[in-house]
């Protein structure tokens, strides 16, 4: 008799295994519905009935990870990997857990191991790229994004992810090219429009930037970042009144939008509205540095 059956003495071995299987399946639907506490309850009973099933440990670990119970997630992934040492899914998910905890070198070890087992796994490649960014290994992160794009050039979000990284590296022409690729795949991808607009602003292509940002706001009228970028573009084009209107709206949508306070402060300073400028710069310092 298995250890799990001892806690359910009324069930035969076959009945216990059958119940554990149904519980695992129901838990997967709970996970799909983001009902993670319900999933964890089902999986805990399933594990009690059939403790040798790696899938149950892995699924429960994933639910624990998603709701940020990271220590519990690690325990579950460790158990899953004892049962299935070459599970790319468990390794990748444990790597995500380590990354969320700031244990980036351990995360990288799990991602690298997982990718030896499943080299074409997009989500593991993406998780590894994110960890490389957190480690400030940006060139390597770009290379990982290149692998993702090579596997499927039709995924607009992959082009945007690399474009965002290029933008972070101040490689604006490369960023614009990637956002343009994303928009070929999905012409109404708001983030690609908004981010390409910002990259165009940074390369002094203000009219093109304005066109992208206008389109982004047509599609998403509450996009605070697009309002902020458009405000900066309008200021460069000499329309400070419209620029302030956009920045006011950006800050209304996100009262902790540090960059918008800074840009609005610079415009107020240019207009010699120094009290308003001081107020904006003070708020930016408070939000960013706690002053």
Nearest-angstrom CA–CA distance, 259 and 7: 58
Whether the CB-CB separation of 175 and 199 falls below 8 Å is answered with yes
Domain of residue 58, residue span: 1-79
Q: Report, as ranges of residue numbers, the positions in the chain whose pLDDT lies below 50.
A: 1-5
Q: Backbone phi, then psi, for 170, in 5-degree steps?
A: 65, 25
Domain annotation covers residue 263: no
Per-residue pLDDT, 193: 98
Domain annotation covers residue 212: no
Per-residue pLDDT, 26: 98
Domain annotation covers residue 36: yes
Per-residue pLDDT, 7: 55
Domain annotation covers residue 88: no
Residues 6+ apart with CB under 8 A from 92: 110, 111, 114, 118, 121, 123, 124, 127
Per-residue pLDDT, 9: 61
User: DSSP of 131-192, one letter per residue?
Assistant: HHHHTT-HHHHHHHHHHHHHH-TT-HHHHHHHHHHHHHTT-HHHHHHHHHHHHHH-TT-HHH
User: The CATH number of the domain where 21 resides is what?
Assistant: 1.25.40.10
Per-residue pLDDT, 1: 38
Domain annotation covers residue 1: yes
pLDDT digits (tens, 9 = 90+) for 233-286: 999 999 999 999 999 999 999 999 999 999 999 999 999 999 999 999 999 999
User: DSSP of 177-215, one letter per residue?
Assistant: HHHHHHHHH-TT-HHHHHHHHHHHHHTT-HHHHHHHHHH
Q: How many domains does the chain have?
A: 1
Domain annotation covers residue 279: no
Whether the CB-CB separation of 59 and 24 falls below 8 Å is answered with yes
């Amino acid at each position: 008799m298995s250890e799990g059956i001892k806690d359910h003495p009324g069930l035969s071995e076959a009945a216990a295994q059958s119940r554990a299987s149904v519980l695992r399946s129901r838990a997967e639907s709970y996970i799909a519905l983001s009902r993670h506490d319900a999933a964890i309850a089902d999986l805990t009973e399933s594990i009690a009935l059939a403790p040798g099933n790696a899938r149950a440990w892995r699924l429960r670990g994933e639910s624990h990870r998603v709701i940020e119970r990271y220590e519990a997630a690690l325990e579950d992934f460790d158990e899953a990997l004892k049962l299935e040492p070459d599970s790319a899914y468990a390794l990748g998910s444990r790597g995500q857990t380590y990354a969320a905890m700031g244990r980036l070198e351990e995360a990288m070890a799990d991602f690298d191991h997982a990718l030896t087992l499943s080299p074409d796994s997009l989500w593991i490649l993406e998780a590894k790229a994110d960890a490389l960014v957190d480690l400030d290994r940006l060139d390597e992160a770009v290379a990982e994004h290149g692998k993702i794009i090579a596997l499927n050039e039709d995924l607009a979000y992959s082009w945007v992810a690399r474009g965002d990284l290029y933008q972070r590296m101040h490689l604006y022409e490369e960023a614009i090219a990637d956002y343009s690729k994303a928009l070929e795949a999905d012409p109404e991808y708001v983030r690609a429009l908004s981010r390409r607009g910002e990259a165009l602003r940074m390369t002094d292509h203000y009219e093109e930037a304005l066109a992208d940002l206008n389109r982004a706001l047509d599609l998403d009228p509450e996009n605070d970042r697009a309002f902020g970028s458009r405000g900066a573009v309008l200021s460069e084009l000499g329309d400070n009144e419209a620029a302030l209107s956009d920045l006011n709206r950006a800050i209304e949508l996100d009262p902790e939008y540090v960059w918008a306070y800074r840009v609005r402060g610079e415009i107020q300073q240019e207009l010699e509205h120094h009290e308003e400028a001081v107020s904006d710069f003070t708020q930016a310092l408070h939000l960013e540095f706690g002053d």
